[in-house]
Amino acid sequence: MANFDKPNAAIKLVFRGTFIHSTQKSALDILEDALLGVDTAGKIAFIGNSQELEKLSQTFGFSPSDVTQLTQHEFFMPGLVDTHIHASQYSYAGTALDMPLLQWLTTYTFPVESHFKDLEFAHRVYAQVVKRTLRNGTTTACYFATIHTDASLLLGQIANDFGQRALVGKVCMDSKNSLNYCETTPESQNETRRFIKELLDRKYPLVKPVVTPRFVLSCTKDLLGELGTIAKKTNLHIQSHISENVEEVKLVKQHFPDCKNYADIYHKYNLLTDKTVMAHGCYLSDEELSLFRETGASLSHCPNSNISLCSGVLNVRNVLKHKVKLGLGTDVAGGYSASMLDAMRRALDVSKFLTIQNPEHSTLTFEEVFRLATLGGSEALSLDDQTGNFEVGKDFDALRVNLTVPGGPIDLIQKSEPKIQLEKFMNLGDDRNIVEVFVAGRKVVPFTEPTAYNCTE
């Protein structure tokens, strides 16, 4: 089971206990009484069974007395991957869910996002959302910010300071709207270049820029084309929205009559690549899903938002049938919860709703949804070579879960095997059960934060 090759770096942490993750072959792989070592670079150095302790300690140069033993009600799982979240909308999360998408944007979203030219306000919101998501086990987040370059750079700084793995996008939108929350085309292009250069120049190890056209209705053709060029030249990730709402899809057809469908628009402007993640996709045709598969683009399933804004229902089973990469997203604040546990629960609810409508529909299992929230999310963000599960050589992004934490939400009535413990955590657990969070081998929860980031809880 263990790899006894000579280590490349010294061992920093060794844990013994239950590890639950997904692999390419299995949605759920449970390693009981296992040993996992993390080196000083934050990478998984070895995974073995407890009987190999002596040999592992000799090979990797650690003392058996340094091993941290998990209790019978604890397990490690990979960090959760939020493939779509609007950090700037966190300030009004849990409210303003009484309108459909396009009206919701102009009534609530654009006015709030306009405030982010105020860096003090931006700092307050962004520090809170990074802390909240980390506490809830989100080790990787793909963030939308706003059109404001300096505030977007601030989000990257805060994610880096707290140790979260993040893709951060300065939002691009040059189409006029009733609130005049937009940029000119040259401004959007130039500020995007500035944002990318300045964020990359900071050389944050886990925070990178992502090219971010809001969606095609908010961008002119000139801007879409230039963003595609920028992404290609820089080999950066791309994020946007697609086929979220019926009214939106109709307007897109009217504005782009020369394109076959919604996905074809992004493809035409070189924005559908193997590093692209598109949120929603509720109304994508089989032809469009095939294009996603051919280009390597991925989807972010945001069930809370789709339900809360009455936007639509994504048939995840059909997406998986087309072999399209798929992860889960909270889509704050269209989704009212910043917790990926909520996204997992809502994904199961939506799948069951589809089965109610059509008994022949194959309902997702909790094991499959677990995979979507971990390894699936890392695949959707093209980060699965770095994170997503417990494999030697990958970064140790992990949650230490304790089902019996004092005052927690879970009651264990009888002895439960690890699979049952995971299911209970997914359905009943919350941030109280997540006692430690690691990103690239660094313990980021509980927080040891700079005084400047001590915001009111």
Residue 91 belongs to what domain range?
80-381
Q: Are residues 412 and 275 in the same domain?
A: no
Q: How would you write 208-230 as a 3-class SS string?
A: EEEEEECCHHHCCHHHHHHHHHH
Q: How many whole angstroms from its chain centre is CA 247? A: 27
Count of domains observed in the chain: 2
Q: Are residues 340 and 432 in the same domain?
A: no
- Nearest one of 178, 120, 175, 107 to 147, comparing CA atoms: 175
Q: Are residues 318 and 417 in the same domain?
A: no
One-letter amino acid of 100: P
Cα 118 to Cα 415: distance, rounded to the nearest angstrom: 53
Q: Are residues 179 and 131 in the same domain?
A: yes
In-domain check, residue 2: no
The dihedral through the CA atoms of 161, 227, 233, 323 has a sign that is: positive
Q: How many CB atoms lie within 10 A of CB 290?
A: 15
449: helix, coil or strand? coil
Give the start-end residues of each E strand in 3-155.
Answer: 11-21, 29-39, 44-49, 68-69, 74-78, 80-86, 138-144
Q: What is the CATH number of the domain that holds 128?
A: 3.20.20.140
- Phi/psi region, residue 103 (left: phi>0; alpha: psi -120 to 50; beta: rest), is alpha
Q: Are residues 263 and 403 in the same domain?
A: no
Q: What is the CATH number of the domain that holds 396?
A: 2.30.40.10
pTM: 0.97
Q: Are residues 236 and 327 in the same domain?
A: yes
Taking CA atoms, 321 is separated from 294, 301, 312, 316, 400, in Å, by 14, 15, 19, 8, 33
Q: DSSP states of 247-289 as a string?
A: HHHHHHHHH-TTSSSHHHHHHHTT--STTEEEEE-TT--HHHH
In-domain check, residue 265: yes
Q: Are residues 120 and 224 in the same domain?
A: yes
First to last CA, the chain: 44
Cα 452 to Cα 425: distance, rounded to the nearest angstrom: 33
Q: How many whole angstroms from its chain centre is CA 180? A: 30
Q: Are residues 277 and 424 in the same domain?
A: no
The number of residues in the chain equals: 457
Please report, in tens digits, the pLDDT of each residue of the chain (457 residues total). Answer: 566 566 778 999 999 999 999 999 999 999 999 999 999 999 999 999 999 999 999 999 999 999 999 999 999 999 999 999 999 999 999 999 999 999 999 999 999 999 999 999 999 999 999 999 999 999 999 999 999 999 999 999 999 999 999 999 999 999 988 789 999 999 999 999 999 999 999 999 999 999 999 999 999 999 999 999 999 999 999 999 999 999 999 999 999 999 999 999 999 999 999 999 999 999 999 999 999 999 999 999 999 999 999 999 999 999 999 999 999 999 999 999 999 999 999 999 999 999 999 999 999 999 999 999 999 999 999 999 999 999 999 999 999 999 999 999 999 998 899 999 999 999 999 999 999 999 999 999 999 855 444 444 3
